[in-house]
């Protein structure tokens, strides 16, 4: 399905440039509200709006609220709250939908809009298509007596903290563990340290002083170097790194070695499988071959969905499975939440450590990762990579060289004008050489 504005995770872009302009976001809010009104059949819809800590969140929140009000939809504002927290509260408060203003792991000049259904799940493609169709229509304001109102939700952070704690086994606690928690100066800055502390851990917080401009800046799940250094400096049991909206997770073991989403997913599934058989796990085309092999030794199949946690969730629903995720750290445990949640995922890993008396290194020690090299190349406007003859020739040559030893994956980003080139092979030097061969054939932007 071709979509003008929606990518794999909502709508995203540079603030001040289309589509992240106040007028477009107001129209987006109105289009979404009008679609909710159509589906509500006369009932008054109400939407939860949360955001991360970007300075542009104030601007876009007001624009969204205005568009929704014009469509006769009430707004319930929670301020900075992790994306999965918005999903949870939307469901818990029985609201019509949830909206998150966030560009996730992107730097502060970017921002985005994500939508959740009343059940706390990402919107299906056909709903997003209907929103886009309404964007081309007029922005019709409801009569004054039918305009939407805005409300502030009290103690949203506290409610979400209690929900996260409820996903940790009641008979266990985190006493004796020292955890470094990197909040990425993002939406979990006032939440994540409390979750782990209230379960008994000694917490060393990092990047928990947002100023509107420092979100994801040299910190968080996409920049885990400071986490590793802090784990070693403080002699911590483990480190936990979230991204700007706290829906992804990367961890560090006691030696400072990084543990990615594939390994964390394996740690969770291995512990669950020891209690009750796990029917299958949903990964993506980017999931490491080592995950597939390790799960295979447990007798658990791995399905590969398209990249993006929404596609992982779709596969889980289709196959009736409970666990899935991406190497980037989006991990879904449907026995705990309806969407990927960095905090909830960290608690499941920690529960496996505590229950088994094991270190994080122990949990993932029998999942060796195949060397994987990923490069992202910014594309020139209008560049058609599928029709570019030199690039296609380089891809065929790389695939021929990798035959029987690895695989090549080339795909466009769903949120940025980037082409992702990934090679996985039994030898790291070979993987690097094949990525270089393909990337060298791509005309560089700028």
How far is residue 240's CA from residue 180's CA, in Å, rounded to a whole number?
6
User: How far apart (Å, rounded) are the C-alpha atoms in residues 289 and 204?
Assistant: 34
Tell me, yes or no, whether 302 lies in a domain: yes
pTM of the model: 0.90
Number of domains into which the chain is organized:
4
In a domain, 312, yes or no: yes
Q: How far apart are CA 315 and CA 301, in angstroms?
A: 13
**Does residue 320 fall inside a structural domain?**
yes
Residues 58 and 148 in one domain: yes
126 lies in some domain: yes
Say which of 75, 104, 287, 327 is annotated catalytic: 104
The confidence score (pLDDT) of residue 2 equals: 56
- Residue 310's contacts (CB-CB under 8 Å, 6 or more residues apart) are 8, 9, 122
Structural contact between residues 116 and 87, judged by C-beta atoms closer than 8 angstroms: yes
Specify whether 358 is located in the same domain as 392. Answer: no
Q: Do 37 and 73 form a contact (C-beta atoms < 8 A)?
A: yes
CATH of residue 425: 3.30.310.50
Residues 21 and 147 in one domain: yes
Q: Is 445 a catalytic residue?
A: no
Last residue within a domain, chosen from 236, 256, 276: 256
Are 25 and 145 in a shared domain?
A: yes
Does residue 251 sit within a domain?
A: yes
The 10 Å CB-count burial string (b at 16+, else e) for 101-132 is bbbbbbebbbbbbbbbbbebbbbeeebbebbb
What pLDDT does residue 96 have? 97
Residues 148 and 274 both lie in one domain:
no
Query: What is the full per-residue pLDDT of the chain (446 aa) written as tens digits?
Result: 457 899 878 999 999 999 999 999 999 999 999 999 998 877 899 999 999 999 999 999 999 999 999 999 999 999 999 999 999 999 999 999 999 999 999 999 999 999 999 999 998 889 999 999 999 889 999 999 999 999 999 999 999 999 999 999 999 999 999 999 999 999 999 999 999 999 999 999 999 999 999 999 999 999 999 999 999 999 999 999 999 999 999 999 999 999 999 999 999 999 999 999 999 999 999 899 899 989 999 999 999 999 888 899 999 999 999 999 999 999 999 999 999 999 999 999 999 999 999 999 999 999 988 999 999 999 988 899 999 999 999 999 999 999 988 899 999 987 678 999 999 998 999 999 999 999 999 987 65
- Looking at the DSSP assignment, which residues form a beta bridge with residue 333? 323
Q: Are residues 347 and 397 in the same domain?
A: no
In a domain, 329, yes or no: yes
Same domain, 119 and 16: yes
What's the alpha-carbon Rg for the chain, to the nearest Å? Answer: 22
CATH number at residue 206: 3.40.120.10
Is residue 245 within 8 A of residue 102, CB to CB? The reply is: yes
Distances (CA, A) of 344 to 207, 224, 323, 329, 349: 19, 19, 13, 12, 9
Asked if the structure places residue 165 within a domain, the reply is: no
Domain range holding 386?
A: 372-440
> In the prediction, which pLDDT does 1 show?
46
Q: Same domain, yes or no, for 334 and 380?
A: no
Single residue among 128, 155, 182 that ends a domain in this structure? 155
Q: Domain check: are 151 and 196 in the same one?
A: no
Structural domain ending residue among the three candidates 155, 189, 207 = 155
Q: Taking phi first (over 0 means left), then psi (-120 to 50 degrees means alpha), and beta for anything else, what does residue 416 get?
A: beta
Whether 6 is in a domain gets the answer no
Q: Are residues 268 and 249 in the same domain?
A: no
State whether 192 and 215 are in the same domain: yes
**At a CB cut-off of 8 Å and minimum separation 6, what does 410 contact?**
385, 395, 419, 420, 421, 422, 438
Q: In terms of domains, do 339 and 355 share one?
A: yes
């Amino acid at each position: 399905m071709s979509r003008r504005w929606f990518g794999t995770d909502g709508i995203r872009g540079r603030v001040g440039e289309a589509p992240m302009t106040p007028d477009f976001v107001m129209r987006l809010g109105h289009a979404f509200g009008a679609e909710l009104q159509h589906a509500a059949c006369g009932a008054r819809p109400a939407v939860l709006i949360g955001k991360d800590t970007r300075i542009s969140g104030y601007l876009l929140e007001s624009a969204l609220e205005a568009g929704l009000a014009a469509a006769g939809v009430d707004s319930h504002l929670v301020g900075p709250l992790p994306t999965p927290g918005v999903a949870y509260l939307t469901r818990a408060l029985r609201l019509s939908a949830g909206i998150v203003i966030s560009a996730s792991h992107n730097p502060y000049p970017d921002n985005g809009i994500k939508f959740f259904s009343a059940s706390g799940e990402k919107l299906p493609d056909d709903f997003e298509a209907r929103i886009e169709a309404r964007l081309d229509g007029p922005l019709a304001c409801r009569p004054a007596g039918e305009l939407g109102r805005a409300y502030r939700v009290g103690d949203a952070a506290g409610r979400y903290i209690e929900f996260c704690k409820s996903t940790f086994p009641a008979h266990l606690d985190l006493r004796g563990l020292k955890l470094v928690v990197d909040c990425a100066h993002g939406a979990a800055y006032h939440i994540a340290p409390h979750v782990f502390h209230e379960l008994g851990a000694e917490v060393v917080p990092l990047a928990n002083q947002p100023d509107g401009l420092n979100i994801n800046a040299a910190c968080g799940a996409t920049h885990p170097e400071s986490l590793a250094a802090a784990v070693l400096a403080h002699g911590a049991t483990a480190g936990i790194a979230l991204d700007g909206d706290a829906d992804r997770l990367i961890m560090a073991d006691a030696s400072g070695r990084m543990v990615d989403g594939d390994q964390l997913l394996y740690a969770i599934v291995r512990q669950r499988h020891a209690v009750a058989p796990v029917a299958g796990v949903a990964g993506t085309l980017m999931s490491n071959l080592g995950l597939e092999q390790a799960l295979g030794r447990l007798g658990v199949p791995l399905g590969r969905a398209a990249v993006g946690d929404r596609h992982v969730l779709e596969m889980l629903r289709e196959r009736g499975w409970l666990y899935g995720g991406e190497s980037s750290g989006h991990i879904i445990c449907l026995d705990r939440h309806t969407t990927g949640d960095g905090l909830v995922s960290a608690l499941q890993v920690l529960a496996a450590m505590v229950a088994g008396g094991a270190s994080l290194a122990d949990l993932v020690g029998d999942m060796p990762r195949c060397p994987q090299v990923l490069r992202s190349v910014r594309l020139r406007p209008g560049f058609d990579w599928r029709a570019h003859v030199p690039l296609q020739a380089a891809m065929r040559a790389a695939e021929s060289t990798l035959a029987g030893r690895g695989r090549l994956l080339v795909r466009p980003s769903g949120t940025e004008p980037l082409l992702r080139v990934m090679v996985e092979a039994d030898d790291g030097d070979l993987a690097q050489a094949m990525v270089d061969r393909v990337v060298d054939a791509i005309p560089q932007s700028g």
